[in-house]
Amino acid sequence: MRKSVEAKRITARPRPGEIVIDKAPADNLGLARGDTVRVLGAPLRVVGEVSGTAAIAGSFAFVNRATLAKVLHADGVASYVLVRAPPWRRRADTGQCDRAARAGRDGVDAAAVRRVRAARRRRHVDRHVRGMTLVGFVVGIAVAGLVAYSLTLSQLRDWGVLRAIGLTARRALALVVAQVGVLVVWGFALALALVFALAAIAPRLSPTLVLAVRGGDVVTAVLVACAVALSAALIPVVRVARLEPASVYRRSS
């Protein structure tokens, strides 16, 4: 699941000398609306809260541009660029921003360029995440396959008995795949329940831990689970397909 860092709800728009902070650090610091917080020596009054920006490394706070210039002692310099665009335009807009920053237009300075580059780094990180997802997929297949193989192996005599008393090879193979499918579905359901439970419990344990579960991710995980089930069933299917019904006469001891 990807963690989405975005402000979900901002309860006020900060004016000069005011600040909107995330609910998690506000709770940690015991701050409420109307309190004053010192940022780089400048006292700012808390006028609202935002949720969903807190992470382990920190959180976002919002002030207006004039306040920021005063706090940073850097009048006329934009140190942060917030870009929001539809997903299908995000890459193109980021590119435009990058070009604008290089040209020094619209008050976008080197800091903005750094942010854009950071966004690119995040995309790079995304590739690593995809790599890790692939590794997870392979490990999932290995674990599910091993469990399915052990299960099939422990039931090999039963499969032999079923073949002897009239189960066709084709039906036996379908049953093996179904058995592995059930195994993976149960595993997936358990993992999903665990994720939802963690998503509910984690913010209570530590407000900086946010786990977002999106519908699209669940659908992707279901598709991946199906692929894992089919892959994991391969070896057990081959083992059962090669099983001779006459093996049922071999002594177990």
The first and second tokens of residue 49, run together, are: 């809260």
Q: Is 216 in the site for other proteins (CB under 8 A)?
A: no
Q: How far is the CB of 201 from other proteins (least distance, A)?
A: 35
Query: How far, CA to CA in Å, does 246 sit from each of 165, 185, 238?
Result: 11, 33, 17
- Please, are residues 119 and 94 in contact by the beta-carbon 8 Å criterion? yes
Length of the chain: 253
Could you say which residues in the range 226-245 bind other proteins, by CB under 8 A? Answer: 244-245
CB of 179 to other proteins, least distance (A): 11
Query: Is 27 among the residues that bind other proteins (CB under 8 A)?
Result: no
- Does 178 contact other proteins by CB under 8 A? no
3-state secondary structure of 223: helix
Pick from 165, 205, 216, 242: which binds other proteins (CB under 8 A)? 165
184 touches 232 (CB < 8 A)? yes
Give least dist CB 161 to other proteins, A: 5
The H or E element spanning position 51 is: strand 42-51
What does the block give as tokens for 104?
């020094």
> Pick from 161, 185, 192, 195: which binds other proteins (CB under 8 A)?
161
| C-alpha to C-alpha distance for 220 and 229, rounded to whole angstroms | 14
Mapped onto helix, strand or coil, the DSSP state of residue 169 is: helix
For residue 248, the minimal CB distance to other proteins (Å) is 6
Q: Rule CB under 8 A: is residue 55 a binding residue for other proteins?
A: no
- For other proteins, give the closer residue by CB, 41 or 154: 154
By CB under 8 A, the count of residues binding other proteins is 20
Check binding of 168 to other proteins (CB under 8 A).
yes
User: Between residues 27 and 244, which has the closer beta carbon with respect to other proteins?
Assistant: 244
Which residues contact residue 209 at a Cβ distance below 8 angstroms, ignoring those fewer than 6 apart? 56, 202, 203
Q: Would you tell me which residues interact with other proteins (CB under 8 A)?
A: 155, 157-158, 161-169, 244-246, 248-249, 251-253
